[in-house]
Structure 1
C-alpha cells in the first residue's frame, strides 16, 4: 500500500515539475510581470509615417536622420540640428550609409536655413505645410526622426532644451542608428 502511495506521490511531483513552470509563464505573460525585450531607445512609430510624398528620386538608398525646420528655431531646434549632424559624424565608416535630411516649408526659419545651407552633408527637402500635416497626421513634427531606406519614418526622438540632455539623447539616436545599420543590408 505504501508503494502505491509513493508512486502516486512521485507521479504528482513529476507532473508538477513540468506543469508548474508553464503555469507561471502563463501568469507572467498575462499580468505583464516582466519587461518585454525592446532594445530601441526611440519611440517606435505606429503606424509608420510614409514620406513618399516628399521623396525625390535618389540614386543610392540611405538611412535618414530627419528634422522638420520650424518657423522659429529655438534652443530645441539648434540642439536637434547639432545632434543629427554629430550622430552622422559619429557613425564613422558607416556614415556614408546615412544622411541628414532637413525638411523645410514655406514658414521655416529663413535665417537658420541660410546657415544650414553653408554646411555640407545636409540634404534639404522642400514641401508645404499642408503636405507635412498630411504626412504627419498622428505624430508631432517637433522631434528628430529616423527613416529607413524606403522612406518610412520609423523612430521618433523628443527634442531637448537642455544641451547636456540633448547630447545624452544623441547617444540614444546613435545607438539606434548603429543597430539599424548593422541589421540592414540596404543603404
Structure 2
C-alpha cells in the first residue's frame, strides 16, 4: 500500500512541475524559433534606422514629440490635408498637447504664400532650413508624408499623404492613435 502511495505522490509532483514548467519552456522555444508573428500595433510605417533631425533643434527648445511635415514647393490638396491633419492631431491630444508640437519644415523652394499664411495663422512651429539640410536629414529619401519624431529628434514613423479629404481624416486617426501610444509609453516630453 505504501508503494502505491509513493507512486501517486511522485506522479503528483511530476504533474505539478510539468504544469508550471511546460508553458515557460514552450514560450521560450516559440520566441527563440519565431513560431508566431510578433504583432506591431503602429499604424504608420516604421522608419529603420530612425532619421536624425537634431540639426534642426535649438538649445532652448524643450524635448517634445513632434508631428513633422516638410513644406513642398507647391502646396496642393495633399499638402493642405497634411497641414490640416498635423494641427488637428495636435489639438486632439487635449491635455497632452503640451507634450507634443506640430512642426513644419520649410526651405527656400517652399511656396512663399503658404509659408506666410502658416506664420500668420498657424499654431505650428515653422523651422526654416536649407534643402541640403533636409536632404541630409532624410538621406535623399522621400519627404512626402507626415512624420512623427521622438523627443530626441529621431524621425520614427511615416504616414502617407492623401489627396482625398475623407481619407486624410481617416489617416489622421491613425496618426493620433500612434501618437497617443507613444505619449502613454514615454516619460519624456
TM range (shorter): 0.7 to 0.9
Provide, for residues 108-146 of structure 1, a one-character-per-residue CA deviation record: whole Å limited to 9, x for no partner: 011111111112421111111111111111531001001
Structure 2 gap segments, 5+ residues each: 1-18
Instruction: Tell me the equivalent position of 1:129.
Output: 131
Aligned length: 183
| 131-140 or 151-160, larger mean C-alpha shift | 131-140
Partner of 2:49: 47
Aligned to 1:111: 113
Moved >2 Å (runs of 4+)? 24-36
Query: What SS is found at the alignment partner of 2:142?
Result: coil
SS at match of 1:53: helix
- 1:49 aligned counterpart, secondary structure: strand
Q: Provide closer, same or farther for how the CA distance between residues 138 and 186 of structure 1 changes in structure 2, counting only shifts above 3 A.
A: same
* Unmatched runs of 5 consecutive residues or more in structure 1: 1-16
Contact 2:159/2:175, CA 8 A, preserved across alignment: yes
For 1:6, the equivalent position in structure 2 comes to none
Deviations 1:43-90 (A, max 9, x none): 111111000122112342111110000000011100000000000000
Which whole-Å CA distance do the structure 2 matches of 1:184 and 1:34 have between them?
25
Match of residue 67 from structure 2 = 65
Q: Tell me which residue corresponds to 1:84.
A: 86
Q: Structure 2 vs 1, CA of residues 28 and 81 (structure 1 numbering), >3 Å: closer, same or farther? A: same
Per the normalisation by structure 1, the TM-score is: 0.82
Check the 8 A contact 2:149/2:155 in 1, yes or no: yes
1:178 matched residue in structure 2: 180
Q: TM-score, normalised to structure 2's length? A: 0.81
**1:28 shift after superposition:** 7.6
RMSD: 2.8
Pairwise mapping of residues 146-185 of structure 1 onto structure 2 (< 5 A)?
146-185=148-187
What does 1:14-25 correspond to in 2, within 5 Å? Answer: none
Whether the 8 Å contact between 1:28 and 1:34 is mirrored in structure 2 is no
Q: In 2 relative to 1, CA 138–39 (structure 1 residues): closer, same or farther, beyond 3 Å?
A: farther
